[in-house]
Amino acid sequence: MSKKSITIIDYNMGNARSVQNALKKLNVEAKIVSKPKSLENSCAIILPGVGSFKQAVENLKAKRLFQEINTLVLDKHIPFLGICLGMQLIAQDSTENVLTKGFGWIKARVRRMDLEQQYRLPHVGWNQIEKRGNPVLLSRIENHTNYYFDHMYAFSCSNLSPVSSTVNYGNKAIISSIEDGHIFGTQFHPEKSQLNGLRVLKAFTEFVWSNQQC
């Protein structure tokens, strides 16, 4: 049997290589995969991504990855980290371009940010996050740590229990990370956030090691 590994999903939405390079700095090996069979020996899944929600869902389904990821995460409880667009795909749906269903693991929707006119979209740049509670993914960082963001749409949910941090941009407190058991997501890009981004990835890998034989 092949050794289990952390797998990074390549579905033509970018950033897979950047995440792999960031993990290498932590001396963590991760495979980039684009076929459902390659996920069989996953001990954790990372889904990065930038761009359109609708295109992302179409790409995952065209590669027959959507259902495989859903099965592994929901039925086999494989730890999951979604980054930026990858986090948004955890939600029930998005209205970007046209209403499109996501994985629906979190009772949330993805909507265009409604900001005062003087605040530009997309939200691009460095901003401090506000931790909520004692999240596993943010256990290695101080509160009000800066992270790099690049997005126009954001999570919206009435049940805030999965929300592990927020970021203030314009007149809104925007959800910047979530965690629900073995499911994690960051709206910011840890792979582009230098040392503090590596600390988030380190916390995720430590969670994986403590819960899986990887």
> In this predicted structure, what is the pLDDT of residue 211?
82
The neighbour count for residue 45, using CB atoms within 10 Å, is 23
Cis amide linkage into residue 36, ω under 30° from 0? no
DSSP-based three-state secondary structure for 39 = helix
- Tally of domains within the chain: 1
Question: Is the distance from CB of 34 to CB of 203 less than 8 angstroms?
Answer: no
Q: Which residue has the higher pLDDT, 48 or 170?
A: 48
On average, the pLDDT of the chain sits at: 94
Q: Hunting for tokens 């499911």 — which residue is that? A: 183
> In this predicted structure, what is the pLDDT of residue 165?
98
* Catalytic residue numbers, as ranges: 84, 189, 191
What average pLDDT score do residues 84-109 get?
97
> In this predicted structure, what is the pLDDT of residue 121?
86
CA distances from 193 to 19, 172, 188, 212 (A): 11, 22, 8, 27
- Residue 127 CA to residue 198 CA, distance in Å, equals 16
Q: How do strand 153-156 and strand 109-112 relate by DSSP bridges?
A: antiparallel
Give the pLDDT confidence of 133-159 residue by residue, as tens digits: 999 999 999 999 999 999 999 999 988
**φ/ψ bin of 15: left (φ > 0), alpha (ψ from -120 to 50), beta (otherwise):** left
What average pLDDT score do residues 28-45 get?
95
User: Phi and psi of 43, rounded to 5°?
Assistant: -105, -5
Q: pTM for this structure?
A: 0.96
Amino acid at 13: M
Give the domain extent around 66. 5-211
DSSP-based three-state secondary structure for 124 = strand
> In this predicted structure, what is the pLDDT of residue 186?
98
- Residue 1 pLDDT exceeds 50: no
> In this predicted structure, what is the pLDDT of residue 213?
65
> In this predicted structure, what is the pLDDT of residue 2?
61
CATH of the domain at 82: 3.40.50.880
The neighbour count for residue 130, using CB atoms within 10 Å, is 13
Angle at 179 between CA 178 and CA 183, to 5 degrees: 120
Give the pLDDT confidence of 50-94 residue by residue, as tens digits: 999 999 999 999 999 999 999 999 999 999 999 999 999 999 999
